[in-house]
Structure 1
Amino acid sequence: MTQYLTHQTIHVDRADLESSFPSSELDLRRQLVRFGRWVHRLGYTPGTAGNLSVRLDDHLILATPTGCSKGLLHAVDMVLIDNDGNKLSGTRNVTSEIGMHLAVYRMRPDVQAIVHTHPPIATAFAACGKALDQPICSEILMTTGLVPLAPYATTGTEEVSASLEPFIPDHDAILLANHGLLTYGSSLPDAFMKTETVEHFAQVCLSAHQLGGASPLRDIDIAKLQQARARYKLNASRGPSCR
Structure 2
Amino acid sequence: MPKKITQYDNTKTLLRIVFYTCLFTLFAVFPVQVYIQQKPDTPLDLLKTFLLFYLIAGVGCTLFCIFIKLISTVWRWIDHDAIQTLIRILILRFSSWLRSRNIKVIYPRLQDFLFYVLTQNKNLLPLPIGNDKSCLTPFGSNHVYRNDCIFYRFQLILPEMPEIPISQLRKLLQHYILSESRNYGISNLYSFYIDVSQNTWDTVQVDRMWIDEENHLLFFEILYITSEKSVEYMVHVMQREQASQSAFYEVYDDEV
Considering Cα pairs closer than 8 Å and 6+ residues apart, tell me whether 1 or 2 has the greater RCO.
1
- TM-score under structure 2 length normalisation: 0.22
- TM-score under structure 1 length normalisation: 0.23
Q: Which has the higher helix share?
A: 2
Q: Which has the larger radius of gyration?
A: 2
